[in-house]
Every structure is written in C-alpha cells, then in structure tokens.
Amino acid sequence: MTLTEHMALAEHRRGFFVNWPGAAISAAKSIEQYRIKGRPTSWIEELSGGNQQRTLLALLPPQLKLLLMEHPTHGLDVESTEYIWRLLLERTKPGTAIIFLSSDLEELLDCSDRILVFFGGQVSAPLDARRVNVEQLGELIGGKGFTEGGAHESRA
C-alpha cells in the first residue's frame, strides 16, 4: 500500500468514506516531519529500511503511555539511527515511556535511562545508564556477577 493509504488507515477514527485528499496532505506532512525519502504515492515496499522505519514511527498514535520496541534501529545506517532516536526521545517529553530491546551496547548506553540485563533466565537489578560503562555492561552480558541459580547482587 502507499504511504497515503497507511496514513489513512492509521488516522481513522470514524466515518465511512476515506477522505483521500486529507490523507494525502497528512501523508505529505509526515513525510516532511519524519524526513521520509518518498512521496505520498510511494509504495511502502519500495522504500529503504530506514525510511520504512521512519514511516512506522509516523504511523504511531501521538499520545502514548508506553512504547515497546525490539531492535528499533536494526540494520539501519548511522544517519537513520540517529534521526530515529531523536524522534523517539522527542516522544518521551510529553510522558511516553519507552522500553526497548537491543544488542547494540552503545545504543543502550546512549539512549536509555535504566538498563536491565538478562542472563540465563535471570534479570539484573536496574542499572543507571549514566553510571555504567561498556565494559561493565559487557561483563554482565557475559554472565559475570550472576550467581548460579541465585539473583544478581546489585553493585549500585
């Protein structure tokens, strides 16, 4: 489907007939706001991965309490990654909480407030992202600090 069709689908509240001119306008707006490289009439499958991701963000409802994401920037180039995170962090200002899953340590440290590490069926205590560095995080991921069958002892 085209970007306009996606916008119409995502924005629909009530009504029977689609307001196509309106949907095209809001598609154009989103394209500009999210810097999507495409036109309202472009097919979503013809866009690059980064632009598809930006479109996805554009399709999210504006006021959210919680946003869950898995590898939100997986496979994207650096520029797209940066841009998408800027938009995501923007969303936290009105109070949207974001929980995301990633295996990119830099991304984890740069973008989050608190980090949880999963290992062998156990969960670490919440870590303050500003007080952990890459090495510590790496050790935790490697299983260091997790006791056999027991809980992680917090170092904080």
Partner 1 sequence: MLTAWVPVLLCCAGLLITFTAGLWNIGIEGQIIMGAIFATGVMRAAQNSLPPVPMLILALLAAVVGGGLWALSTGVLKLYGQVNEIFGGLGLNFIAGSLTVYLVLGPWKRPGIGSTSGTQPFSPSLWLPPAIQGVNVSLVELLLGLAAIILVYIALRGTYFGLRLKAIGKNLRSAFLLGVPTDRYMLAAFVLCGALAGMAGWTLVAGTSSRHQLFPLISGGYGFLAILVVLLANLNALWSIPISLFFAAISMGSLQLALQAQLDSSLGGVIQGMLVLAVLIVGGLRARLVARRR
Angstrom CA distances, 45 to 2, 48, 51, 69, 84, stand at 9, 8, 10, 21, 19
Residues contacting 29, CB < 8 A, separation 6+: none
Half-sphere exposure of 103 (CA within 13 A, CB side): 4
| Region of 17-25, 83-91, 127-135, 145-153 interacting with partner 1 (CB under 8 A) | 17-25
Under the binding rule (CB under 8 A), the answer on residue 3 touching partner 1 is no
* Residues linked to residue 99 through DSSP beta bridges, in sequence order: 68
Binding of residue 9 to partner 1 (CB under 8 A): yes
73's CB contacts (< 8 A; 6+ apart) are: 53, 80, 81, 84, 85, 102, 104, 107
Q: How far is the CB of 42 from partner 1 (least distance, A)?
A: 15
Q: Please report whether residue 63 would count as binding partner 1 according to CB under 8 A.
A: no
Cβ atoms of 92 and 69 within 8 Å: the answer is: no
Which of 12, 39, 74, 114 touches partner 1 (CB under 8 A)?
Answer: 12
Q: Give least dist CB 15 to partner 1, A.
A: 7
Applying CB under 8 A, which of residues 3, 8, 27, 132 lies at the interface with partner 1?
Answer: 8
**Most distant CA pair in the chain: distance in Å?**
62
- Using CB under 8 A, which of 25, 28, 47, 59 touches partner 1? 59
Q: Which of these segments, 11-19, 24-32, 128-136, 148-156, binds partner 1 (CB under 8 A)?
A: 11-19
- Asked if 101 interacts with partner 1 (CB under 8 A), we say no
Q: Which is nearer to partner 1, 18 or 134 (CB)?
A: 18
Indicate the SS3 state at residue 131: helix
Q: By CB under 8 A, name the binding residues for partner 1.
A: 1, 5-6, 8-10, 12, 15-18, 20, 59
